[in-house]
Amino acid sequence: MDISIRQTQADSSSGGDAAMVMSLTGRFDAHEAPQFRAAVAEAIEEGTIRIAVELTDVEFVDSTALAELVRGMKNCRERGGDLSLVSPSDPVRVILELTKLDAAFSID
């Protein structure tokens, strides 16, 4: 899996907090989860609490990856921010539905 990160301008919708888009590609599974966790932790440590995770080009997420997304979401929300999901691919959207996590995340 590749992670590309771009910092976006803070705007009124983000309440002035720094915001970030993480674009993931490929297969997001237990092998890749540590890399994602580190990227989210680093972002939060630097004060970014609004993270949009773009999943357009992710073919598969396993349970470990889902757990990492939930962890990131909780950590952001505890600080007044959020970790949202953007344009999940069809298989990822179905996996989110089957695990009922579609109700837990903000999905754009």
Look-up: residue for tokens 């995340």? 105
Residue 101's identity, in one-letter code, is: L
Least distance (Å) between residue 34 CB and another protein: 11
Q: What track of x and - describes contact with another protein for positions 14 through 43 (by CB under 8 A)?
A: -------------x-xxx------------
Q: Is 98 helix (H, G, I), strand (E, B) or coil?
A: helix
How long is the chain?
108
Q: Rule CB under 8 A: say whether 97 interacts with another protein.
A: yes
Binding site for another protein (CB under 8 A): 27, 29-31, 59-64, 66, 90-91, 93-95, 97-99
